[in-house]
Amino acid sequence: MIDTQIHVAIKSYKRAGKVKTLEAVPFAWVWVPESQGAEYREHYEDRVITIPDHLDGNLGRKQNAILDGSPCPWTVILDDDISGIGYWEDGDHFWMSPEQIQGTIEHAFILASDLGVELWGINQRKDEMCYRLFEPLNFLSPVLGPFHGHLSPTLRYDESVLGKDDYDFWLQNIRAHRKTLRLNKYHYSHDHGKASGGFVSMRTMAAEREGIRQLQKKWGSKVVRPGGSAGGKSATGDNILNTLIRHPIPGC
């Protein structure tokens, strides 16, 4: 199914030679602005896909370009700093091989299709407490930007909310389809803004606050609130803000 029904895309920017995700997911393709294509190809050869520079430079804009240009009906969009994808089983933790990751992606898309969702993802944290033993699936938990699975999506990312585009896109899906799909068993591990380059180089505390303000303006302050520090660093060295979402949908 990979490269026929499913396209796996890594969004990257100014990190030629530093794309960790390609080590964990070697069957993925690296999407970069055209002006950086030659530098990336020195490291990743034909695994690089370029887009015009004017369609890059903003997370929402770039992800829309990937969705619009994907060669397959189903698309996974990944951050470029994912060091591994793991899971918990019987109290033990395991890191997945590329073959296991590929199989999980394929099965997850089939499950998502059967459930009638356009967006699926996995846990954001390795913490075993996040793995809900008796709730392997969740339809209303956040599905965020480092790992987004899209099934012929009709929705697009909103550029106006800046770095909070993933929260907004998840809320768009909740509003439109009343559910998304998160596989609680699996999680990704990534640098969360600590590595140099990438889109984190554009993120300042002012931009973080403006993104939250735009998100609140769109969804209301009862749905969107600043939720403390995410632990990552902005271009100025300040902490990147998390966002707390309380959607008004009780279940589905």
CATH number of the structural domain spanning residue 65: 3.90.550.10
Does 222 fall in a domain? no
Does 251 fall in a domain? no
Structural domain containing residue 91:
6-196
Question: Against a cut of 0.85, is the pTM above it?
Answer: yes
Query: What is the pLDDT at residue 200?
Result: 57
Does 128 fall in a domain? yes
Question: Would the pLDDT of 235 be above 70?
Answer: no
Contacts of 66 (CB under 8 A, 6+ apart): 9, 11, 31, 51, 75, 77
Does 141 fall in a domain? yes
Number of domains forming the structure of the chain: 1
Residues 63-111: tens digit of each pLDDT: 999 999 999 999 999 999 999 999 988 888 999 999 999 999 999 999 9
Q: Report how far residue 232's alpha carbon sits from residue 15's, in angstroms, rounded to the nearest whole number.
A: 17
Residues 6-44: tens digit of each pLDDT: 999 999 999 999 999 999 999 999 999 999 999 999 999
Does 106 fall in a domain? yes
Does 143 fall in a domain? yes
Contact 99, 85 (CB under 8 A): no
Contact 150, 119 (CB under 8 A): yes
Structure-model confidence comparison of residues 231 and 101, the more confident one: 101
Does 211 fall in a domain? no
Question: Would the pLDDT of 3 be above 70?
Answer: yes
Query: What is the pLDDT at residue 198?
Result: 55
Contacts of 187 (CB under 8 A, 6+ apart): 85, 86, 87, 122, 123, 124, 125, 126, 130, 131
Does 91 fall in a domain? yes
